[in-house]
Chains A and B, each alone.
Chain A
């Protein structure tokens, strides 16, 4: 897909041509939207609806994680802590400061985004395994703080967050929150998509490929990583805050759990970290499976075993995720490029003059001839 940052792409070439693949994607997107809007009406009982909200929450968290993981390649296991901060921030602003629920949610998300500046400033100085370890440390430190500071956070007794709509019955409460989660997810997806098509996104993707090389090309790598980390933290905190308002009961052991971050990574990896909808797809699979295992096998650690197995399968057989694997599968049915022989400048001019089709192919960032494995939005 041509990037919006491509100065060479003419406005005509940038206008999306209606290809079968594009039409299929459009239809699929429409189906997803219709399914999301109709799910609350189709859910047979409030439990299924609440389980659906949990999956939607995972999708939102995983998409938020993917701002950092997908664009820069930095694997954070600490996003559970950012969600926990958002949840506790919202809860405490409601209970201690008396702010209206959704104002508290907004303030908490902004405060966590602001906190992400010094956190990111310290954490993003290291790469690879070191960054992962720093992100884990963030979860563990915050767990200790929120458990120990019982006078303020409620400690191990937990924190009860008043419901924003006390007059609503539980099914109606779920129904409203389903749409709130879906709306926030749509916003996160839209922002991810906009970044993906921007000059900023191009710089981020270069960081993911090779940070040193990106820096040598004049990309302000550290500033870019920090900005996208703050955006990611803001959305993650908002997801945590919405969860607090919906669920109404917070426990530091669950809010600041290393497992949450691990699930988010697994979901994004499963769907495809380079894809807009990859984390959403991963959350649908993993979130649903987690809920199923918990219901069917109770307190056994079977859901953890299944999660570990799934991670192994993904790493072994679909390292780029399901969506890129599907895209690559579809590409196999496209006609192969006839030759990779280089052409001279004169031949190329002739080809260009010969037909608009060749021009379109050159202007597009991913012609059918090339078995591209990247998944566009």
Chain B
């Protein structure tokens, strides 16, 4: 299956510090959810920053729909079809849901297309239509996250990058958010998902990649990763290791 976005042998880091990503390669096939899991500091969020143009890679290549976009900034990546939903709540709190969603399509010049996208995201996320005129800051955390999703879909992106979408949400809101991730995928948008709640994310995803020390350690179908007991122990919050046996005197 063709990849919507492909990161090849990426080296990236912050300032003059040691690289966070060390030869990472990952690709997101069209119409699929790919989940990145791994311990803190593995470089999960950095992958998304590189993919959205917020962080320029030191080396490596980025391809969107087969087209080379390495080194492009966030605006160019948005135009190329990569939308990034940042970690935490990133709605414009003092603006209405309507304004938030319309800002997602700010780069669109075709008004008719923008209007169609508005109808599309309203249909996909009913809460957006329901609270269209409310200030976004007055919505619950889960609702705000859906507004962010809707905003990211306004440009009809090829791929949406989701950074910890369930952060700070209660279990019910988390369930709704993951439901919406599936709906986005079903609507034809590829999703690259970074999530601390690794088990929940892998249950939602089609493919999974386990990151460690800045590169993909293991990748494969998400269901297989979930079923792997060793991976469960190491990366998915499995049972803690057995305590050391102390010989009886």
Contact = CB atoms under 8 A, between A and B. Distances in A.
Interface stretch (A130-138, A171-179, A209-217): A209-217
Most A CB atoms within 10 A — which of B75, B94, B114, B138? B94
Given A3-B102, A202-B103, A374-B94, A364 B133 contact: yes
A209 B133 contact: no
A344 interface: yes
A371 interface: yes
A344 B115 CA distance: 21
B95 A209 contact: yes
A365 B111 contact: no
B55 interface: no
Interface string A3-19: 10111100000000000
B30 interface: no
Interface string A319-342: 000000000000000000000101
A218 B75 contact: yes
Contacts of A218: 74-75, 78-79, 106-107
A3 B99 contact: yes
Contact of B135 (A213, A216, A342, A373): A373
Contacts of B134: 366-367, 369-370, 372
A203 B135 contact: no
Nearest to A337: B134
A7 B111 contact: yes
Interface residues of B, number: 45
A209 B92 contact: yes
Contacts of B107: 217-218
A7 B103 contact: no
B127 interface: yes
Contact of A370 (B99, B119, B133): B133
A345 interface: yes
Contacts of A369: 134
A342 B98 CA distance: 17
Nearest to A370: B134
Contacts of A219: 103, 106
Interface in B134-161: 134-135, 138, 140, 143, 151
Interface in A343-363: 343-345, 347-348, 361-363
B99 A365 contact: yes
A217 B118 contact: no
A358 to B, nearest CB: 10
B231 interface: no
Interface of B: 52, 54, 74-75, 78-79, 84, 86, 90, 92-96, 98-99, 102-107, 111-112, 114-115, 118-119, 122-124, 126-127, 129-135, 138, 140, 143, 151, 176
Given A8-B118, A203-B103, 4 more contacts: A213-B90, A345-B126, A367-B134, A370-B138
Interface of A: 2-3, 5-8, 199, 202-203, 205-206, 209-210, 213-219, 340, 342-345, 347-348, 361-367, 369-374
7 pairs of A and B residues whose beta carbons are closest in the complex = A370-B134, A8-B118, A218-B107, A209-B92, A7-B114, A367-B133, A7-B115
8 contacts: A7-B111, A214-B103, A340-B140, A343-B130, A348-B130, A362-B130, A365-B99, A374-B94
